[in-house]
Amino acid sequence: MKFRFSHNNINVIDLERSLAFYRDALALTETRRKEASDGSYSIVFLGDGESAHKLELTWLRDWEKDSYNLGDNEFHLAFETDDLEAARAKHRKMDCIIYENKAMGIYFIVDPDGYWIEIVPTKR
């Protein structure tokens, strides 16, 4: 029996805003969408065009809060980039860098819902 990663899910408050962020910040594109017939939820899968792994964004119509409780926010996604300095410049321009660890050669950006995303250089 084998297992392999399929996707990670995060819930979002404003689906269109999140889709724009992930498109602009990380070049993710929509690969699949499922919407409830009664409009109670939308699920959108995003891909990077390179790997099979997907990011699932879930929007819930009846969510009554302005945000999600992210706890201590120790959970995060991580993306590799082949050009860390160009990525950092892009994310600085977007004003979404939340933490930098120059000694480790990594940094984190934050999405519209407060989820942290680690940016690391591709290992060579």
Number of H helices, E strands in the chain: 2, 8
Which residue bears the tokens 């600085």? 92
Instruction: Tell me the pTM.
Output: 0.90
Q: How far is CA 32 from CA 11, 29, 57, 118, in A?
A: 16, 9, 11, 24
Architecture of the domain delimited by 7-62+76-121: Roll (3.10)
**What average pLDDT does range 88-96 have in this prediction?**
98
- Ordered by start, the domain boundaries in the chain are 7-62+76-121
pLDDT greater than 70 at residue 39: yes
Write down the mean pLDDT value for the chain.
93
Looking at residue 70, what is its pLDDT?
77
Max Cα–Cα distance, the chain, nearest Å = 50
**18: which residues sit within 8 A by CB, 6+ positions away?**
12, 57, 111, 112, 113
Q: Is the pLDDT of residue 72 over 90?
A: no
* pLDDT at residue 73, rounded to an integer: 63
CA 111 to chain centre: 7
Give the tokens for residue 96.
């979404």
pLDDT over 90 (residue 81): yes
For residues 54 and 5, is the Cβ–Cβ distance under 8 A? no
Which pLDDT value is given to residue 30? 98
